[in-house]
Structure 1
Amino acid sequence: MTFFAKILSAVALCVLFAGSALAADAAHKLAIHVDESDPAVMNLALNNAKNVQSYYADKGETVAIEIVAYGPGLKMYTADSPVKDRISAMSLEHENLTFAACGNTLAAMEKKAGTKVELISEATMVPSGVVRLMELQEQGYSYVRP
């Protein structure tokens, strides 16, 4: 196992444990899937998250929401993301909102670019976006793809 893979695995385990702790307290759980670099899709995903969070907050209930981005959708979490300011604001407003970035996609992007690709600080690396979506569904998360 390469050094990068070991670090990525350790970070992923921390994310899984932290995410599980937040979700355990939440009455509802939602996984949102973003795999397109279209700003309209990214904003729709963020709108879905905001609307779901507001709906349950109005009912006095909690919801854990994780937005998982991979493939072209990882653009949502890059330093030049068209929605980075919105993600920053939303992450401060909602403690049960997390942003998962696919490690496989990031590695491919960096290989193609020949340089490190910077992600926003709110993004948490997971080894595989697809696997993360599977794990969330296995943990009882509802799945939405805007």
Structure 2
Amino acid sequence: MAPAIAEAQQGLLGDLLGLISINGTVFCTVNGNIGVNGTATPVFPNAKVQLQCGAGNVVASATTNGSGQFSIALNPLLDLLSTLLSNCNLVVKTPLSICNANLPSVGLTSSLKFVRTTLVGLLNIAEIVPASFQFLPVLN
């Protein structure tokens, strides 16, 4: 039996009406991740976060808000999910010493982790988060 017209259109439109959403929180810690004490971990506001692919090409960027949160939206027709997950990293360019003078003057980097796909109306949203931030040896 052939799919109903609405199902066929949703499949076609779902591919066209997609979104890749990269969201996360940067914490003001030695590794940018939440500490063992959870809610007492300070966040890193106004930090510049870049999505870098390949040899450091900046694909998109965002700045963390007052809660240390950032969000980057990408068009899946231009940016393939598999390429993002295998060839791209998040880079926090703002030195950690900006949020805490006792921390080193380096940034952070993290690979990407796919969480899930959510359907909102006709829009397919692929949700991605940082896997785990680590020191960025050299700010470039």
Same fold flag (TM > 0.5): no
Answer 1 or 2: which has greater strand percent: 2
Answer 1 or 2: which has greater helix percent: 1
